[in-house]
Amino acid sequence: MPLTLSEVEHRMKMVFEKNRLATFTSWHFNDKSKCNAKKVSTTYIIHILLIMITLAEAGFYYVGTANEQDEVQCFICCTVFQKWNKNDDPWQEHIALSEECEFAKLATPEQMLTLNQFDQLFRNSIKKHCTQYIEGLLEHKKKLCAQQCEILRNIVNDKKE
Ligand SMILES: [Zn+2]
């Protein structure tokens, strides 16, 4: 599925930790969930908030749905993670499941990055998402051209008969 331009813009905003953290406001809670805010104690809610802060710090933003309530995605490697356990460390899980991720390899929260490190991450994120968008557009154009060629071929063949 090709990326849309608004998805590219959204992903580019996710380079910033504060934007990643803001996505967790749409965390899904339902009656079957252990994380139902209406049922749980203040202590549990604080625990969940701390998990969200740690997830955002470790490069993740929220992409969950009603079916995949704890699904998050990395802003740079785009790997999707879900089914978090109570004692999971987001940084350790990140590098374990995406060992080539340049942010996970740095293992450094945003406020501790050097300007050069942040600049490199930002540039690579833009390059990656824009390339993916352009490749998607080209693939779509190729399919359209193939369909139009087929239509023209059929018209020509019809005229010959
Ligand atoms: Zn990553």
Sign of the C-alpha dihedral, residues 51, 127, 10, 80?
Answer: negative
Distance CA 8, CA 126 (A): 8
Contacts of 66 (CB under 8 A, 6+ apart): 28, 30
Ligand 1: centre distance to CA 20 (Å) = 13
Question: Which phi and psi angles does 152 have, rounded to 5°?
Answer: -60, -40
Instruction: Please identify every residue whose CB atom is under 5 Å from ligand 1, which is an ion.
Output: 74, 77, 98, 101, 104
Quick one: 154 exposed, middle or buried, by C-beta within 10 A (0-12, 13-18, 19+)? exposed
Report the separation in Å between the CA atom of 134 and the middle of ligand 1, taken as the mean of its atom positions: 22
Rounded distance from Cα 139 to ligand 1 centre (Å): 26
> Distance between CA atoms of 88 and 79, rounded to whole angstroms?
17
**Low-confidence residues in the chain, pLDDT < 50:** 31
Q: Which domain covers residue 68, as residue numbers?
A: 5-160
How much distance in Å is there from the Cα of 103 to the middle of ligand 1?
6
C-alpha 77 – ligand 1 centre gap (Å): 4
Q: Could you identify the residue written with the tokens 């994120």? A: 125
The CATH number of residue 113's host domain is 1.10.1170.10
- Write the pLDDT tens digit of every residue in 25-60: 887 665 455 555 555 677 777 877 888 999 999 999
Order of strands across the sheet that contains 60-62: 60-62, 72-74, 80-81
Average pLDDT, the chain: 88
Q: How many domains does the chain have?
A: 1
How far apart are alpha carbons 7 and 11 in whole angstroms?
Answer: 6
* pLDDT at res. 84: 84
